[in-house]
Protein backbone atom coordinates (compact mmCIF):
# COMPACT_ATOMS: atom_id res chain seq x y z
CA UNK A 1 0.00 0.00 0.00
CA UNK A 2 1.34 3.40 -0.96
CA UNK A 3 2.13 5.75 1.91
CA UNK A 4 -0.48 8.50 1.99
CA UNK A 5 1.07 10.80 4.60
CA UNK A 6 4.63 11.81 5.40
CA UNK A 7 5.33 13.62 8.66
CA UNK A 8 8.74 14.64 7.29
CA UNK A 9 7.16 16.20 4.20
CA UNK A 10 4.62 17.99 6.41
CA UNK A 11 7.42 19.33 8.62
CA UNK A 12 9.27 20.45 5.50
CA UNK A 13 6.19 22.42 4.45
CA UNK A 14 6.09 24.06 7.90
CA UNK A 15 9.71 25.13 7.52
CA UNK A 16 8.89 26.65 4.15
CA UNK A 17 6.12 28.67 5.75
CA UNK A 18 8.46 29.73 8.56
CA UNK A 19 11.12 30.91 6.12
CA UNK A 20 8.50 32.79 4.11
CA UNK A 21 7.13 34.44 7.25
CA UNK A 22 10.69 35.50 8.10
CA UNK A 23 10.80 37.46 4.83
CA UNK A 24 12.61 34.95 2.60
CA UNK A 25 11.66 33.43 -0.72
CA UNK A 26 13.06 30.42 -2.61
CA UNK A 27 15.00 31.02 -5.83
CA UNK A 28 16.70 28.73 -8.34
CA UNK A 29 19.80 29.91 -10.20
CA UNK A 30 21.16 28.06 -13.21
CA UNK A 31 24.90 28.76 -13.18
CA UNK A 32 25.16 27.74 -16.83
CA UNK A 33 27.74 24.98 -16.45
CA UNK A 34 25.52 22.09 -15.47
CA UNK A 35 25.10 23.44 -11.93
CA UNK A 36 21.78 24.60 -10.48
CA UNK A 37 21.61 26.25 -7.05
CA UNK A 38 18.57 26.63 -4.84
CA UNK A 39 18.79 29.50 -2.38
CA UNK A 40 16.49 31.32 0.03
CA UNK A 41 16.91 35.08 -0.41
CA UNK A 42 15.23 38.18 1.06
CA UNK A 43 11.90 39.08 -0.51
CA UNK A 44 12.80 42.72 0.02
CA UNK A 45 16.41 43.59 0.65
CA UNK A 46 17.16 46.47 3.01
CA UNK A 47 20.36 48.26 2.07
CA UNK A 48 20.87 49.40 5.67
CA UNK A 49 21.37 45.80 6.77
CA UNK A 50 24.51 43.67 6.32
CA UNK A 51 24.30 40.44 4.35
CA UNK A 52 24.47 37.11 6.18
CA UNK A 53 24.99 33.74 4.48
CA UNK A 54 24.04 30.57 6.39
CA UNK A 55 25.61 27.32 5.17
CA UNK A 56 24.28 23.94 6.29
CA UNK A 57 26.01 20.62 6.91
CA UNK A 58 25.18 17.03 6.02
CA UNK A 59 21.71 15.83 6.87
CA UNK A 60 18.43 17.35 5.78
CA UNK A 61 18.14 20.41 3.57
CA UNK A 62 19.10 23.92 4.68
CA UNK A 63 15.66 24.73 6.12
CA UNK A 64 15.78 21.91 8.65
CA UNK A 65 19.26 22.79 9.85
CA UNK A 66 18.74 26.52 10.30
CA UNK A 67 15.11 26.37 11.43
CA UNK A 68 14.16 29.14 13.83
CA UNK A 69 17.61 30.78 13.57
CA UNK A 70 16.50 32.42 10.33
CA UNK A 71 13.49 34.00 12.00
CA UNK A 72 15.66 35.33 14.81
CA UNK A 73 18.46 36.64 12.60
CA UNK A 74 16.33 38.13 9.80
CA UNK A 75 15.52 41.36 11.72
CA UNK A 76 19.26 42.17 11.80
CA UNK A 77 20.46 40.95 8.38
CA UNK A 78 19.60 40.32 4.78
CA UNK A 79 19.72 36.53 5.17
CA UNK A 80 20.69 34.12 2.37
CA UNK A 81 20.36 30.37 2.88
CA UNK A 82 21.62 28.28 -0.05
CA UNK A 83 21.32 24.54 -0.42
CA UNK A 84 24.81 23.29 -1.16
CA UNK A 85 25.33 21.15 -4.25
CA UNK A 86 23.52 17.78 -3.97
CA UNK A 87 21.32 19.00 -1.12
CA UNK A 88 17.80 20.36 -1.36
CA UNK A 89 17.23 21.62 -4.88
CA UNK A 90 20.92 22.11 -5.80
CA UNK A 91 22.87 19.77 -8.07
CA UNK A 92 25.57 19.63 -10.73
CA UNK A 93 26.56 17.43 -13.65
CA UNK A 94 30.19 18.42 -13.12
CA UNK A 95 32.63 15.99 -11.45
CA UNK A 96 34.01 18.37 -8.80
CA UNK A 97 33.36 17.39 -5.17
CA UNK A 98 35.64 19.72 -3.17
CA UNK A 99 34.59 22.44 -0.74
CA UNK A 100 36.30 24.89 -3.10
CA UNK A 101 33.78 23.97 -5.78
CA UNK A 102 30.94 24.36 -3.28
CA UNK A 103 32.35 27.73 -2.20
CA UNK A 104 32.57 28.90 -5.79
CA UNK A 105 28.95 27.95 -6.41
CA UNK A 106 27.79 29.87 -3.33
CA UNK A 107 29.82 32.92 -4.37
CA UNK A 108 28.29 32.88 -7.84
CA UNK A 109 24.82 32.82 -6.31
CA UNK A 110 25.76 35.79 -4.13
CA UNK A 111 27.10 37.64 -7.15
CA UNK A 112 23.84 36.92 -8.99
CA UNK A 113 22.03 38.56 -6.07
CA UNK A 114 24.42 41.55 -6.19
CA UNK A 115 25.86 40.81 -2.76
CA UNK A 116 29.27 42.42 -2.49
CA UNK A 117 30.31 41.92 1.12
CA UNK A 118 28.92 39.33 3.48
CA UNK A 119 29.27 37.56 6.81
CA UNK A 120 29.25 33.78 6.60
CA UNK A 121 28.21 31.15 9.13
CA UNK A 122 29.01 27.53 8.30
CA UNK A 123 27.60 24.55 10.18
CA UNK A 124 29.65 21.30 10.07
CA UNK A 125 30.31 20.63 6.35
CA UNK A 126 29.12 24.16 5.68
CA UNK A 127 31.96 25.36 7.91
CA UNK A 128 34.47 23.88 5.47
CA UNK A 129 32.76 25.82 2.68
CA UNK A 130 32.61 29.04 4.73
CA UNK A 131 36.31 28.82 5.58
CA UNK A 132 37.14 28.23 1.92
CA UNK A 133 35.08 31.27 0.91
CA UNK A 134 36.94 33.42 3.43
CA UNK A 135 40.34 32.19 2.25
CA UNK A 136 39.61 32.45 -1.46
CA UNK A 137 37.60 35.70 -1.47
CA UNK A 138 38.79 37.75 1.54
CA UNK A 139 37.62 41.01 0.01
CA UNK A 140 34.02 39.71 -0.01
CA UNK A 141 33.82 37.86 3.32
CA UNK A 142 34.00 40.19 6.33
CA UNK A 143 33.47 37.74 9.19
CA UNK A 144 33.37 33.98 9.56
CA UNK A 145 31.68 31.65 12.03
CA UNK A 146 32.82 28.01 12.00
CA UNK A 147 30.34 25.78 13.82
CA UNK A 148 31.62 22.31 14.64
CA UNK A 149 33.55 21.95 11.38
CA UNK A 150 36.84 20.04 11.48
CA UNK A 151 38.56 22.40 9.09
CA UNK A 152 41.93 21.68 10.69
CA UNK A 153 41.76 17.90 10.35
CA UNK A 154 44.45 15.99 8.51
CA UNK A 155 44.11 12.89 6.36
CA UNK A 156 46.21 10.92 8.85
CA UNK A 157 43.83 11.68 11.75
CA UNK A 158 41.42 8.92 10.70
CA UNK A 159 44.13 6.26 10.64
CA UNK A 160 45.53 7.49 13.97
CA UNK A 161 42.22 6.99 15.76
CA UNK A 162 40.98 10.54 16.34
CA UNK A 163 37.48 9.62 15.17
CA UNK A 164 35.14 6.94 16.54
CA UNK A 165 34.80 5.36 13.08
CA UNK A 166 37.41 3.25 11.33
CA UNK A 167 37.19 4.66 7.82
CA UNK A 168 35.33 7.01 5.49
CA UNK A 169 32.88 4.36 4.30
CA UNK A 170 31.72 3.77 7.87
CA UNK A 171 31.43 7.53 8.36
CA UNK A 172 29.36 7.84 5.19
CA UNK A 173 27.05 5.03 6.32
CA UNK A 174 26.33 6.97 9.51
CA UNK A 175 26.11 10.47 8.02
CA UNK A 176 23.90 9.22 5.17
CA UNK A 177 21.66 6.71 7.00
CA UNK A 178 19.57 4.36 4.90
CA UNK A 179 17.75 2.48 7.67
CA UNK A 180 16.04 3.41 10.95
CA UNK A 181 18.87 1.66 12.81
CA UNK A 182 21.51 3.82 11.11
CA UNK A 183 19.38 6.90 11.75
CA UNK A 184 19.39 6.08 15.47
CA UNK A 185 23.15 5.66 15.32
CA UNK A 186 23.50 9.08 13.72
CA UNK A 187 21.36 10.64 16.46
CA UNK A 188 23.57 9.02 19.12
CA UNK A 189 26.67 10.50 17.49
CA UNK A 190 25.16 13.93 16.82
CA UNK A 191 23.45 14.69 20.14
CA UNK A 192 24.80 14.82 23.67
CA UNK A 193 21.45 13.41 24.77
CA UNK A 194 19.95 11.72 21.75
CA UNK A 195 16.15 11.62 21.34
CA UNK A 196 14.69 8.51 22.97
CA UNK A 197 12.11 6.06 21.69
CA UNK A 198 11.62 7.56 18.23
CA UNK A 199 9.36 5.15 16.30
CA UNK A 200 11.03 3.34 13.41
CA UNK A 201 8.25 4.42 11.05
CA UNK A 202 9.16 8.09 11.63
CA UNK A 203 12.85 7.42 11.12
CA UNK A 204 12.13 5.48 7.93
CA UNK A 205 9.97 8.33 6.69
CA UNK A 206 12.78 10.82 7.32
CA UNK A 207 15.32 8.62 5.52
CA UNK A 208 13.00 8.18 2.53
CA UNK A 209 12.39 11.92 2.16
CA UNK A 210 15.82 13.33 3.06
CA UNK A 211 18.47 10.70 2.38
CA UNK A 212 17.64 8.98 -0.89
CA UNK A 213 18.56 11.56 -3.54
CA UNK A 214 22.15 12.03 -4.76
CA UNK A 215 23.34 9.36 -2.34
CA UNK A 216 26.50 8.39 -4.21
CA UNK A 217 27.40 12.02 -4.92
CA UNK A 218 27.14 12.81 -1.19
CA UNK A 219 29.39 9.86 -0.42
CA UNK A 220 31.90 11.37 -2.84
CA UNK A 221 31.67 14.70 -0.97
CA UNK A 222 32.56 12.89 2.28
CA UNK A 223 35.49 11.08 0.67
CA UNK A 224 36.82 14.39 -0.67
CA UNK A 225 36.94 16.12 2.75
CA UNK A 226 40.15 14.57 4.16
CA UNK A 227 41.87 13.71 0.88
CA UNK A 228 45.50 14.94 0.96
CA UNK A 229 44.56 17.30 3.78
CA UNK A 230 47.36 18.76 5.93
CA UNK A 231 47.15 21.49 8.54
CA UNK A 232 50.31 23.06 7.10
CA UNK A 233 48.43 23.63 3.84
CA UNK A 234 45.44 25.29 5.50
CA UNK A 235 45.51 29.05 4.80
CA UNK A 236 45.25 31.36 7.80
CA UNK A 237 42.25 33.51 7.09
CA UNK A 238 42.56 37.12 8.20
CA UNK A 239 38.91 37.91 8.93
CA UNK A 240 37.62 37.92 12.51
CA UNK A 241 36.55 34.32 13.13
CA UNK A 242 34.27 32.80 15.74
CA UNK A 243 34.64 29.06 16.39
CA UNK A 244 31.69 27.38 18.13
CA UNK A 245 31.85 23.74 19.28
CA UNK A 246 29.93 21.30 21.42
CA UNK A 247 32.05 19.92 24.25
CA UNK A 248 30.81 16.36 23.57
CA UNK A 249 31.09 16.43 19.76
CA UNK A 250 31.68 12.86 18.53
CA UNK A 251 31.71 13.66 14.81
CA UNK A 252 34.43 16.31 14.93
CA UNK A 253 36.15 15.95 18.33
CA UNK A 254 36.78 19.07 20.40
CA UNK A 255 40.54 18.78 19.82
CA UNK A 256 39.88 20.01 16.28
CA UNK A 257 38.38 23.22 17.69
CA UNK A 258 41.52 23.89 19.74
CA UNK A 259 43.67 23.00 16.73
CA UNK A 260 41.87 25.57 14.56
CA UNK A 261 42.11 28.18 17.32
CA UNK A 262 45.87 27.64 17.59
CA UNK A 263 46.17 27.86 13.81
CA UNK A 264 44.32 31.18 13.58
CA UNK A 265 45.68 32.73 16.76
CA UNK A 266 44.49 36.05 18.16
CA UNK A 267 42.26 36.74 15.17
CA UNK A 268 39.84 34.06 16.37
CA UNK A 269 37.61 33.35 19.35
CA UNK A 270 36.59 29.89 20.56
CA UNK A 271 33.30 29.25 22.34
CA UNK A 272 32.69 25.77 23.76
CA UNK A 273 29.02 24.96 24.35
CA UNK A 274 28.69 22.82 27.46
CA UNK A 275 26.66 19.60 27.56
CA UNK A 276 26.16 19.60 23.81
CA UNK A 277 27.22 17.41 20.94
CA UNK A 278 27.71 18.02 17.23
CA UNK A 279 24.09 19.16 16.94
CA UNK A 280 24.58 21.94 19.49
CA UNK A 281 22.62 24.37 17.36
CA UNK A 282 19.54 22.19 17.98
CA UNK A 283 20.41 21.36 21.59
CA UNK A 284 21.31 24.88 22.77
CA UNK A 285 19.72 27.29 20.23
CA UNK A 286 19.36 30.25 22.63
CA UNK A 287 22.99 30.06 23.70
CA UNK A 288 24.20 29.74 20.12
CA UNK A 289 22.05 32.68 19.02
CA UNK A 290 23.50 34.80 21.83
CA UNK A 291 27.04 34.07 20.66
CA UNK A 292 26.16 34.71 17.02
CA UNK A 293 24.55 38.07 17.79
CA UNK A 294 27.43 39.12 20.05
CA UNK A 295 29.97 38.36 17.35
CA UNK A 296 28.10 39.32 14.18
CA UNK A 297 26.31 42.41 15.50
CA UNK A 298 27.90 43.77 18.67
CA UNK A 299 31.55 43.31 17.64
CA UNK A 300 31.11 43.50 13.87
CA UNK A 301 32.82 46.12 11.70
CA UNK A 302 30.67 49.09 10.70
CA UNK A 303 28.48 48.20 7.76
CA UNK A 304 29.24 50.18 4.63
CA UNK A 305 26.16 50.74 2.50
CA UNK A 306 28.36 50.60 -0.58
CA UNK A 307 29.07 46.95 0.20
CA UNK A 308 25.62 45.96 -1.00
CA UNK A 309 26.50 46.81 -4.58
CA UNK A 310 27.91 44.47 -7.19
CA UNK A 311 30.80 42.33 -6.04
CA UNK A 312 34.30 43.03 -7.31
CA UNK A 313 35.12 39.35 -6.86
CA UNK A 314 35.33 36.85 -9.67
CA UNK A 315 34.62 33.15 -9.26
CA UNK A 316 35.52 32.18 -12.78
CA UNK A 317 38.56 30.17 -11.69
CA UNK A 318 37.23 28.34 -8.63
In tens, the pLDDT along 100-150 reads 999 999 999 999 999 999 999 999 999 999 999 999 999 999 999 999 999
| 158 within domain boundaries | yes
Q: How many whole angstroms separate alpha carbon 17 and alpha carbon 243?
A: 30
- Return the closest-CA partner of residue 148 out of 61, 249, 80, 221: 249
| 101 within domain boundaries | yes
| 89 within domain boundaries | yes
| CATH code, 100 | 3.40.50.1820
Q: Is the pLDDT of residue 200 over 90?
A: yes
In tens, the pLDDT along 24-75 reads 999 999 999 999 999 999 999 999 999 999 999 998 899 999 988 999 999 9
DSSP string covering the chain: ------HHHHHHHHHHHHHHHTTEEEEEEE-SSSEEEEEEEESS--TTSPEEEEE--SSS-HHHHHHHHHHHHTTTSEEEEEPPTTSTT-EESS---SHHHHHHHHHHHHHHTT--SEEEEEETHHHHHHHHHHHH-TTTEEEEEEES--TT--THHHHTT-SSSSSHHHHHHHHS--SHHHHHHHHHHH-SSPPPS--HHHHHHHHHHHSSTTHHHHHHHHHHTTTT--GGGS----S-EEEEEETT-SSS-THHHHHHHHHHGGGEEEEEETT--TTHHHHSHHHHHHHHHIIIIISSPPPPGGGGS------TT-
Q: Report yes or no: 153 and 260 within 8 Å, Cβ to Cβ.
A: no
Chain-centre distance for alpha carbon 157? 22
| Number of independent structural domains in the chain | 1
Q: Is the pLDDT of residue 208 over 60?
A: yes
Q: Is the pLDDT of residue 313 over 50?
A: no
Q: Is the pLDDT of residue 307 over 60?
A: no
| 15 within domain boundaries | yes
| 142 within domain boundaries | yes
The pLDDT assigned to 316 comes to 46
What is the biggest distance separating any 2 CA atoms in the chain, rounded to whole angstroms?
60
| 244 within domain boundaries | yes
Q: How confident is the model at residue 304 (pLDDT cuts 50, 70, 90)?
A: very low
Q: Whole domain around residue 64: which residue ranges?
A: 7-165+230-299
211: left (phi over 0), alpha (psi -120 to 50) or beta: alpha
For the chain, give the mean pLDDT. 92
Pairing assessment for the beta strands 241-246 and 141-147 based on DSSP bridges: parallel
Instruction: Return the higher-pLDDT residue of 318 and 35.
Output: 35
| 151 within domain boundaries | yes
Q: How confident is the model at residue 4 (pLDDT cuts 50, 70, 90)?
A: low
| 212 within domain boundaries | no
Q: How many whole angstroms separate alpha carbon 190 and alpha carbon 239?
A: 29
10 Å CB burial of residue 152 (0-12, 13-18, 19+) is buried
Q: Report yes or no: 190 and 279 within 8 Å, Cβ to Cβ.
A: yes
Amino acid sequence: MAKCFSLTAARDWCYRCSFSNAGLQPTVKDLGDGTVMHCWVPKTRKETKPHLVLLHGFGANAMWQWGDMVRLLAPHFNVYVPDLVFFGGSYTTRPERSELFQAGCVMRVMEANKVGKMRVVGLSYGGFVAYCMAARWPEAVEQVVVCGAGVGLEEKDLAEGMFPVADLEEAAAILLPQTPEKMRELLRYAFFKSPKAVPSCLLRDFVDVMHKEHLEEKRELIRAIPKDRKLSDLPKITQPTLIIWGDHDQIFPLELAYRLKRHLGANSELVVVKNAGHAFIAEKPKEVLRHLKSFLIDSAPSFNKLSSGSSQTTTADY
